[in-house]
Amino acid sequence: MFTSDVLVIGSGIAGLSFALKVASFARVTLVTKKARVDSATNLAQGGIAAVLSSEDSLEAHIGDTLRSGDGLCNEEIVRMVVTEGPERVRELMEFGVRFQKGKGGAGLDLGMEGGHSCRRVAHAMDLTGREIERALLSQVERHQGIEVLENHLAIDLLLESKASHRQRNGYDRCLGAYVLNTRSGEVETRTARLTVLCTGGCGKVYLYTTNPDIATGDGVAMAYRAGARVANLEFVQFHPTCFYNPQAKNFLISEAVRGEGGILVDRDGRPFMKQYDPRGDLATRDAVARGIDAEMKESGADCVYLDITHRPAEFIRERFPTIYATCKRFGVDITMEPIPVVPAAHYMCGGVQVDAWGKSSIACLLALGETACTGLHGANRLASNSLLEAVVFAHRGASWCRENWSELKKQPFLPIEDWRVGKACSIEENVLISHNWDQIRRLMWNYVGIVRREKRLKLVQRRLRPILEEIREHFHDYLLTADLVELRNIAVVAELIIRCASSRKESRGLHYMVDYPGHDDARFKRDTVLTRFEA
């Protein structure tokens, strides 16, 4: 059994920021399932939104966030995040993040993005996430109080009810996690006074996604299995513009390209977005993704195109160096020809339900970053608000931890049974796992995608059931591998997305139901909350 004061699971912006803030008073172990840089954070391009310019205002950012959230944001949380945002961005700069300098406010070049009424996105050209990850990691690596363990995959949370063999009727306390060392194959029992889920999103539940391979919804699945409340999982954001090329895996064409004048056109070069939304190419992501989906369905084309060739070639190369270089590598010179694009699963607005301090419904379990559902995004996230949410909540979670540390420190480390291997044997045919992975991702793409229908949701529930049963029945028959653990998690998250989507019989934000095209405020202006106890 390994013990630490705080067990942080995940090394993206949420996990690293939180670890840095608590390491001055607590011993932190940070586990991450692959290499430390493998995270969505490392891929973020556009930037982080905050009110930094004198031409901008907190009210404007609050208004844009609420409008995007389509009636489901928690206004108090929105106000708090937007108000604390500028301070957190300045703090990132103190941690060594080098945002692009300029005359936009705070000495920075501020970008414009869809859904924002003002230039307010601090960026490091189109490599913002990589710059943030670099700076935070270098601080973490220098810190004596933080132990970072790569190739350590959290499997399940440890619970007081299990340790004491007592039914808790909903109340429980988290005591750490079982963690698979993917190099040695051993399952470690890691206990902690406080456990913090910073495991990112779940884009891999869908066939097409902009997310990295780590995004398998592990935090949501673990928390749900442990009995925590999860919420709003029907609100999956599809990024409208993922590079369409069979050889390029998950490459995103940032929102900022439209922000800087990029126009969506069909194969004949005809702009089409105004047909679907009066805001045209700068409409929010959901509207643009639906516009592209409708356009592709109508024309039968495999993709549409994003055209920025009317801007000077030098500006394009300077502002979007990575997008320029990557597209060029695949034979598209974006200064001279439009970029082929398709929508892809991008961001999960829902997650483990938390309060204003990042606390979940299970004691001593926090959830931060994309894994959490804080109330900021409501039914649709405003571009560049997720990095912001992660740093604000990491700060608040750490503040709560500091204030309550004397109490938390008194918690005894209870003896926990080791993971039972029993008669488990090694999987000889990996095809058993890869087949189910593929089936789930295709089902979700085809049945629970950008535009939903009640009939399709009923069908997918039926089709998913035998796969879920097979996984539940056989999970403990095999020695654990990362693929098996993640398969169980994407299956759980897929089921939760479907249950949330089926229960919301209206269209709102990212959840578009053909059968119920309008809002139904009387019944559905509320979060969709699920727990294992109500399954």
Q: 129: closest CA among 210, 196, 8, 202?
A: 210
CA–CA separation, 366 vs 364, rounded Å?
A: 7
- Mark whether 319 is an active-site residue: no
CA–CA separation, 9 vs 154, rounded Å?
A: 7
- Residue 272 has phi, psi (to 5 degrees) of -130, -10
How far apart are CB 29 and ligand FAD at their closest, in Å?
11
How far apart are CB 167 and ligand FAD at their closest, in Å?
27
The four Cα atoms 259, 262, 263, 264 give a dihedral, to 10 degrees, of -90
How far apart are CB 513 and ligand FAD at their closest, in Å?
25
Nearer to ligand FAD, 348 or 460 (CB): 348
Task: Give strand ranges (E) for 87-186.
Answer: 110-111, 121-122, 146-149, 152-159, 174-181
> In 56-77, which positions are buried (b, 16+ CB within 10 angstroms) versus exposed (e)?
beeebbbebbbbbbbebbbeeb
Q: How many C-alpha atoms does 498 have within 13 Å on its Cβ side?
A: 30
Instruction: Collapse the DSSP code of 238 into the 3-class scheme (helix H, G, I; strand E, B; otherwise coil) and give the result.
Output: strand
How far apart are CB 137 and ligand FAD at their closest, in Å?
10
How far apart are CB 176 and ligand FAD at their closest, in Å?
13
CA–CA separation, 404 vs 401, rounded Å?
A: 5
Contact criterion met (CB below 8 Å) for 339 and 243: yes
Nearer to ligand FAD, 40 or 354 (CB): 40
> Residue 429 burial by CB count (10 A; 0-12/13-18/19+): exposed, middle or buried?
exposed
Nearer to ligand FAD, 6 or 387 (CB): 387
**DSSP letter string, 357-395:** TSB-SSBTEEE-GGGEE-SSSTTSPPTTHHHHHHHHHHH
Question: What would the two tokens of residue 256 be?
Answer: 């900022």
Nearer to ligand FAD, 368 or 443 (CB): 368
Contact criterion met (CB below 8 Å) for 370 and 390: yes
The residue ranges that bind ligand FAD (CB under 6 A) are 9-15, 31-34, 38-41, 43-48, 128-129, 153-154, 198-201, 210-211, 214, 218, 252, 347, 369-371, 384-387, 390
Q: Which residues pair with 3 in a beta bridge?
A: 191
CA–CA separation, 249 vs 209, rounded Å?
A: 9
> One of 285, 319, 456, 504 is an active-site residue; which one?
285
Question: What would the two tokens of residue 406 be?
Answer: 């004397």
Contact criterion met (CB below 8 Å) for 308 and 257: yes
Q: How many C-alpha atoms does 244 have within 13 Å on its Cβ side?
A: 18
Q: Could you list the active site residues?
A: 285
